[in-house]
Amino acid sequence: MMPALHFQRTGTGFPVILIHGYCETLEIWRDFVPLLTNHLDVTTLDLPGFGRSPALRQPFTVDEVADIVTDFIKSQHFTEKPLPIGHSLGGYVVLSMVARYLDLFAGAGLFHSTAFADSEEKKANRNKAIEFVNRNGARPFIDSLIPNLFADKSNNPMKTALDIGYQTPDSTVTGYAAAMRDRPDRSGLLSALSANLLIIAGQQDTVVPEAVSRQMAGLAKNAVFTLLSGVGHMGMLEAPEACATAIVSFARKNR
């Protein structure tokens, strides 16, 4: 039996599903969702092992996580095909869902995320992270991870991200690191995708650099590309109004 996912749903209008990133929970969207709910029916959820959603047996894959999220989406009985938008890790989940269950969705959104597989260097860094957490626990890993996601290291919302990150169990940190390391390349999907694709990128994102996001936009047939000036990897916290405007506009395009 698939684990029941903890979720929140609010607002009215076209259905949008926001899927959080690595070492986050649905709480990362707490102050962002109200910017959308006058226009959209917004669902946020905790991925398995994060927040209040039960963990998966390890090892697991991004595709297995995507299957669970897809089953959850089916259970919501949306009256229109919903639009899933994934932040970072959440984007990998969205790409997996769209690659295999495209007919269920109105389009897709990548929010500081990438369709490309990890490079060998990135895979080695995932392995180092797993070893570090196994030795030292998740908290010092979170302390090193989160600040690097922000363009402005004095950004007040960074504390929010840290507090959410500290809730992540060690096994969830390492399990998802391995799943992300081993995920397939989905870049071929972009050129084959007939549906509209939203790409939100940060000009100062060191995790998914601007050049990578532009490359994806060039590959996709129907990409809507939004570049956020002065923003790193956390647009929902660094530039919430601009991100909300981009999502509402894109959702209207997909109705």
Domain CATH code at residue 13: 3.40.50.1820
Question: Is residue 218 included in any domain, yes or no?
Answer: yes
Domain count, the chain: 1
Grade residue 64 by pLDDT with cuts at 50, 70 and 90. very high
Residue 245: name the closest of 183, 200, 193 by CA.
200
Question: Is residue 212 included in any domain, yes or no?
Answer: yes
Range of the domain at 239: 7-253
DSSP per-residue codes, 14-71: EEEEEE--TT--GGGGTTTGGGTTTTEEEEEEPPTTSTTSPPPPSS--HHHHHHHHHH
How many Å apart are CA 78 and CA 92, to the nearest integer?
Answer: 22
Whats the size of the chain, residue-wise? Answer: 255
Question: How much of the chain exceeds pLDDT 90, in percent?
Answer: 93
Question: Is residue 27 included in any domain, yes or no?
Answer: yes
How many Å apart are CA 10 and CA 37, to the nearest integer?
Answer: 7
Q: For 144-179, how does the pLDDT look when each residue is reduced to its tens digit (9 = 90+)?
A: 999 999 999 887 899 999 999 999 999 999 999 999
How many Å apart are CA 87 and CA 200, to the nearest integer?
Answer: 9
Question: Is residue 61 included in any domain, yes or no?
Answer: yes
- The pTM of the full predicted model, rounded to 2 decimals, is 0.97
pLDDT of residue 131: 98
pLDDT of residue 4: 87
Q: Three-state SS for 206?
A: coil
Question: Is residue 153 included in any domain, yes or no?
Answer: yes
Grade residue 126 by pLDDT with cuts at 50, 70 and 90. very high
pLDDT of residue 179: 98
**Treating both helix axes as pointing N-terminal to C-terminal, what angle do 170-181 and 138-145 enclose, rounded to 10 degrees?**
60
Question: Is residue 2 included in any domain, yes or no?
Answer: no
Contact 113, 175 (CB under 8 A): no
How many Å apart are CA 21 and CA 89, to the nearest integer?
Answer: 5
Mention every residue, 6+ apart, whose C-beta is less than 8 A from residue 124.
none
At which residue do the structure tokens 């100062």 appear? 204
pLDDT of residue 255: 72
Report the pLDDT averaged over residues 84-101. 98
Contact 44, 18 (CB under 8 A): yes
Question: Is residue 1 included in any domain, yes or no?
Answer: no
